[in-house]
Amino acid sequence: MADLKIPNLNKNSDKFLFKKKLTLRRKSKRKLIKESLFMFSFAIIIIYFNYLIPNKKLIFENFFINFNKLWNQIWILFDYLYEVFIGIFISASLIIAFILLMGACSRVLKILKRKSNRISLK
């Protein structure tokens, strides 16, 4: 009788089960004014720092030239990295091939040694 489960009819419907519970209260005027003053002061500080930068016009004119040079340097970097990785791959593959050859030779020698011992014992 304890295993009998009776459905609970007092549950909310499933469509509201995973709905996010957000607060729908509006912010007070005081909080809105405080946030707007903070944003305004932050914007003024950013404009002031921009004003302190010398030769803004020259920097902005050279932006695309510098970006193009940077892009070319990135391609050269990838070209060098490709060559370095090819070199690492070649050296690693030679080391692995040498280890495999040594293992194969040692196994063949073990097999030959066993057969030679059997032949000499007879």
When pLDDT is averaged across residues 78-107 and rounded to a whole number, the result is 95
Question: Residue 76 pLDDT more than 70?
Answer: yes
The arithmetic mean of pLDDT across residues 92-114, rounded, is 92
Give the pLDDT mean for 104-119.
79
- Are 50 and 56 spatial neighbours (Cβ–Cβ below 8 Å)? yes
In sequence order, the 6+-apart residues with CB closer than 8 A to the CB of 59 are: 53
pLDDT digits (tens, 9 = 90+) for 14-73: 555 666 666 667 888 889 999 999 999 999 999 999 999 999 889 888 988 999 999 999
Q: How far apart are CA 122 and CA 116, in angstroms?
A: 10
User: Where residue 111 falls among pLDDT bands split at 50, 70, 90?
Assistant: confident
Residue 97, CB-side half-sphere exposure with 13 Å CA sphere: 6
Say if CB 59 and CB 53 are below 8 A apart.
yes
Share of the chain above pLDDT 90, in %: 53
Q: What is the dihedral of CA 22, 25, 26, 28, to 10 degrees?
A: -130
Task: Tell me the whole-structure pTM to 2 decimals.
Answer: 0.43
One-letter-per-residue 3-state SS of 51-84: HHCCCHHHHHHCHHHHHHHHHHHHHHHHHHHHHH
